[in-house]
C-alpha cells in the first residue's frame, strides 16, 4: 500500500512513519510493524470515508439507555464507521478485562 504521494508505507523509516501518523493525530508508539499497521488502517479508513455514499441526510441522534446505544434517523457512512469503532472498542475492552 502506498501513501497519497505514492511512497510505499513499508519502505518508510520509523521517523517518517511517525510523522505520517502525527499528521493524522494518531499514536506514534510501537515498533515499526505496529506503526505500519496503524498507518495502513488510517489510509484505508481515509479512502473509505472519501468515497461518495448515497444516503439520506437525516440527523443522527444516539442515546444510551442501560448501556445500550440506540440510533435514530438514517446514518451516513461516517456515522456507521464511528458507531462501529466505538462498539468494537467496547467489545475489545470487555475481552481484555475478562482475561485479567
Predicted pLDDT at 54: 47
Q: Which of 88, 55, 89, 87 is nearest to 73 (CA)?
A: 55
Predicted pLDDT at 52: 53
**Same domain membership, residue 79 and residue 46:** no
Residue 95 inside a domain? The answer is yes
**Same domain membership, residue 65 and residue 44:** no
Predicted pLDDT at 17: 93
**Same domain membership, residue 65 and residue 43:** no
Q: Angle CA(38)–CA(34)–CA(85) in degrees, nearest 5?
A: 40
Predicted pLDDT at 93: 84
**Same domain membership, residue 67 and residue 46:** no
User: What is the residue range of 87's domain?
Assistant: 61-99
Q: What is the pLDDT along the chain (100 residues), one digit of tens a residue?
A: 677 777 888 899 999 999 999 998 989 999 999 999 898 888 888 777 665 544 444 444 444 445 555 555 666 777 777 778 888 888 888 888 888 6
Amino acid at each position: 500500500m502506498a501513501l497519497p504521494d505514492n511512497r510505499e508505507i513499508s519502505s518508510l523509516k520509523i521517523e517518517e512513519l511517525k510523522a505520517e501518523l502525527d499528521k493524522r493525530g494518531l499514536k506514534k508508539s510501537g515498533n515499526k510493524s505496529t506503526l505500519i499497521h496503524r498507518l495502513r488502517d488510517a489510509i484505508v479508513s481515509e479512502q473509505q470515508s472519501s468515497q461518495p455514499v448515497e444516503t439520506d441526510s437525516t440527523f443522527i441522534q444516539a442515546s444510551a439507555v442501560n448501556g445500550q446505544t440506540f440510533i435514530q434517523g438514517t446514518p451516513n457512512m461516517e456515522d456507521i464507521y464511528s458507531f462501529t469503532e466505538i462498539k468494537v472498542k467496547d467489545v475489545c475492552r470487555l475481552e481484555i478485562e475478562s482475561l485479567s
